[in-house]
Amino acid sequence: MPIDQKLLDILVCPESRQPLMPADSALIARLNDEIQGRRLRNRGGEIVDSRIREGLVRKDGRFLYVVDDDIAIMLIEKSIELGS
């Protein structure tokens, strides 16, 4: 279930305070391929081992915050670096 728009309007990156937007399906599929190959780590250095169904991307496109069971995990160390 997608994140409620009212909640999305107030959520910001805890690090930069930039707005967040829903991740598109192509990005989620790419990250899940990396997860399946055990190649994806979060910013805390842990291997991500659970498939991602939904995520929020920082406006600059550098980081993704996973949404798990309709709850956005807004911890910097749990975010996933996407590059630029």
Residue-averaged pLDDT of the chain: 94
- Exposure string (b/e) for 21-54, b if CB count within 10 Å is 16 or more? ebbeeebbeebbeebeeeebebeeeeebeeebeb
Residue 76 pLDDT level (bands cut at 50, 70, 90): very high
Q: Which region, left, alpha or beta, applies to residue 32 given φ > 0 means left and ψ of -120 to 50 means alpha?
A: alpha
Tens of pLDDT, residue by residue over 29-60, are 999 999 999 999 999 999 999 999 999 999 99
| Model confidence, pTM | 0.93
Residue 3's pLDDT is what?
79
Task: State the Cα–Cα distance between residues 80 and 17, nearest whole angstrom.
Answer: 16
Residue 84's pLDDT is what?
55
